[in-house]
Structures are given as C-alpha cells and as structure tokens.
Copies of this chain bind each other. A is one copy, B any other.
Amino acid sequence: MPSMGLARIVDRPDTKSGRAFDLLVQFLIVVSLVTYSIETLPNTTPSSRHLLGIVEGVIVGVFTLEYVLRVLAAERKLAFVFSFFGLIDLLAILPFYLSLGIDLRSVRAFRLLRLFRILKLARYSKAVRRFHRALSIAREEIVLFLCVTAILLFLAAVGIHHFESEAQPEQFASVFHSLWWAVATLTTVGYGDVYPITVGGRIFTFGILLIGLGVVSVPAGLVASALSKARAIEDAEQFEVDRDQAIAGE
C-alpha cells in the first residue's frame, strides 16, 4: 500500500521526514498570513500582485496534498473528514478553489476565510491545548465574571451619561455612546478621544475606577491560575507516562 509510506509523513512527527513536513506546513501557514497582510497594502503593483497569486497557489497546492495524505492515512476516512481538524484543513483550501470558478475577490469578507488557516496551527501547538484545558477548568467562573464586567460597564456608561451628556452632548449622546468610554477607561487603555470634563463626571470616574480595576483584572487572574493548574495536570500525566514506560522497559 503506497499510502502507508506517505501516511508516515503526515502522521509521524517523530520521524525525520514527518518532522520536516510539519515544519513546512507551519512555515507555509505563516507565509500565507504574511501574503494576506501584504495584499491589504494600498499601493501594490500589478507585478507584485501576480507574485502573491503564485505564492498563494503554491501554498494551496501543498495544503491540498497534505489534506489528501491525511485522508489516505486516516484509518476511518469519513470520521477524519468530519473531525475538527479535517474541516479546518478543508476550509483552508476550499475558498481558493471556489474563487477559481466564480470571481469572489471583490467580496471582502470572503478573503477573511483564508484566516481559518491559523487554526491549522492548533494541531502543533501545546499552548492551544493548555488554554483549552485551562478554560474548561475555569469556564464557569470566567463566564460569571464576564457577566459582572458587563454589568459594571453598563453601570459606568449610565453614570457617565448622567453626568456628562449635557456638557458634551456629542461624545456622550446616549448610553451606547458612553459604553465606548466605559470600555476604554475600565481596561485602562484611555485613548483620550472621550473623557469627562465636569466635576461630577470626574469624581464618578474616580469611584468606578477604584471598583473597576479590581473587577476587570479578576478574569485575567483566573486565566493565569487555571493555566498553572493545567500545567500541573500535564506534568502529572507526563510523569505517569514516563513511569509506565520505565516499568514497561524494565
């Protein structure tokens, strides 16, 4: 069976050729994101656009080859096609083939589909797996505090609208306009496009910041502590694998 030799390339990152193939795919994903960015530059010459098109073609070619190999290498082919990574691999190449038939280049949102290729990186990334685990540990609490943050932002917007809407009817026209101020302030970004000018609004800002800094920083702390727990679990699992191998090797 010839597919078995090829299967080794896509399925066995522990072999030399498998590792090389993985690195190639990762490299092409990054190249693909860079070409996407270059295409957004305002003054691209026709010749450079032509070059970008060729690069895109080569990338899609390699990704198509990878997809075919993965399907061939899979024991249960249909299960792979409808798995998370199977769909992602398909989505990474499908838009290109569709755009060959119909001219979809003008549809801006369509080009965004190419960014799904970033998800292909998830296959190689320990960070994504750990994040996933950390989120499942702290999901309930993170949702809880996102709700609290949402309520706080709403109250901040209502309050500042109450104080500033008369002095600055443009910037603080409604609660919705004021929400933008609340987001920029409570995350401490503070662009400086909207800020309170009345005494009442400034005292209110002071008060809401004292409370808000504590609340807004909580989810970040939860993520950080969940990540360290996820790491401890990973280490424990690795320890067990190592021990089992050591016992088996005796």
Contact = CB atoms under 8 A, between A and B. Distances in A.
Most B CB contacts (10 A, CB to CB) among A40, A115, A149, A223 go to A40
A80 to B, nearest CB: 25
Copies of this chain, tallied across the complex: 4
A220 B209 contact: no
A130 B185 CA distance: 25
Interface in A154-203: 154-155, 157-158, 161-162, 165, 169, 173-176, 179-180, 183-185, 187-193, 195, 202
Contacts of A108: 162
Interface of A: 33, 36-37, 40-42, 108-109, 112, 115, 118, 121, 125-128, 130-131, 141, 144-149, 151, 154-155, 157-158, 161-162, 165, 169, 173-176, 179-180, 183-185, 187-193, 195, 202, 205-206, 209-210, 213-221, 223-225, 227-228, 231
